[in-house]
Chain A
Amino acid sequence: MASINISVKLDKRRLDMLSGGLKAKEQAVLDKAAFDVEALWKENIVAKGVVDTGAYLNSVHAGPGENEHQRIISDGVEYGIHQEFGTVALAARPCAAPAVAEVEKGFAKAFEELLR
């Protein structure tokens, strides 16, 4: 009895190459966003005159997060939160939040570009 045999071979080499490139691009987008936030945060500190010794300004830094899809941008002084959110006698002078808001505007678009 005659039979038809169909063989399908899935060549994933191109797909693997694309997904590999996508991961590298994702990391680049995340790194750029993190360093942009750091830069703008520092710009805001200077622009708003939240500088005395420079310790707060110099402590702001971007670094890796808890996984490869995360970055953490933080300060290293205990009074940074008092500047960001205010005290009972001092109005808030937010420097981090405006930086995040500014970078956020282009963040979704940067990821859209990855998929084109």
Chain B
Amino acid sequence: MNEVSVALYNKLTGGTALTALLAGTTSVYESLVPRGAALDAVVFSLQGGGDANWTPRRRKELRYMVKAVSDGSVKTAGAIDAQIDTLLHRGTLTVSGWTSISVMREADVSYAETTPEGRNYWHVGGVYRLRIGDT
């Protein structure tokens, strides 16, 4: 959902304590860090979910992964994740055309990646359940 992507981007880039830890104040990307972009960065992407269809009112339950990607250390990635958590968990989102019901962190994500060239990257973040309803 594009509206949710915009809402997440605005929320994350609006957190100065978070962006101070990133390569730039707009180092927040959906799905993928663009080739050549500087790290550290935040990446978010839809993991699953959709319409709840429990009541006649339209409501969506979406799981988004939001993680830090660092080429520095797992500690750095963890510090960025802590700021992401502060911004999102039990927070609110401004989603155009929708009412934000809740944002809850429900799983932690942490892993390392070694590229064929031998570079190491650390990914630390969480999976957040976003509940939004029609206005």
**Given known A88-B33, A88-B69, A92-B31, contact A82–B113 (CB-CB < 8 A):** yes
Asked if B50 CB lies within 8 Å of chain A CBs, one says: yes
Indicate the member of A81, A90, A97 with the most B CB atoms within 10 Å. A97
- Which of B17-25, B40-48, B79-87 contacts its partner? B40-48
**Given known A91-B31, A92-B31, A97-B63, contact A85–B123 (CB-CB < 8 A):** yes
B48 touches A86 (CB 8 A): no
Q: For residue A100, which residues in chain B have a CB less than 8 angstroms away from its CB? A: 48
> How many contacts A-B (CB < 8 Å)?
61
Q: B-facing mask of A83-116, CB < 8 A → 1, else 0?
A: 0111111111010011111100100000000000
- Bound form: Cα–Cα A62–B113 in Å: 26
Q: For residue A99, which residues in chain B have a CB less than 8 angstroms away from its CB? A: 48
Q: A-facing mask of B45-60, CB < 8 A → 1, else 0?
A: 1111110110000000
**Which A residues have a C-beta under 8 Å from some C-beta of B?**
81-82, 84-92, 94, 97-102, 105
Indicate the member of A81, A85, A94, A101 with the most B CB atoms within 10 Å. A85
Asked if B65 CB lies within 8 Å of chain A CBs, one says: yes
Q: For residue B45, which residues in chain A have a CB less than 8 angstroms away from its CB? A: 86, 91-92, 94
**Given known A97-B127, A98-B47, A98-B48, contact A88–B113 (CB-CB < 8 A):** yes
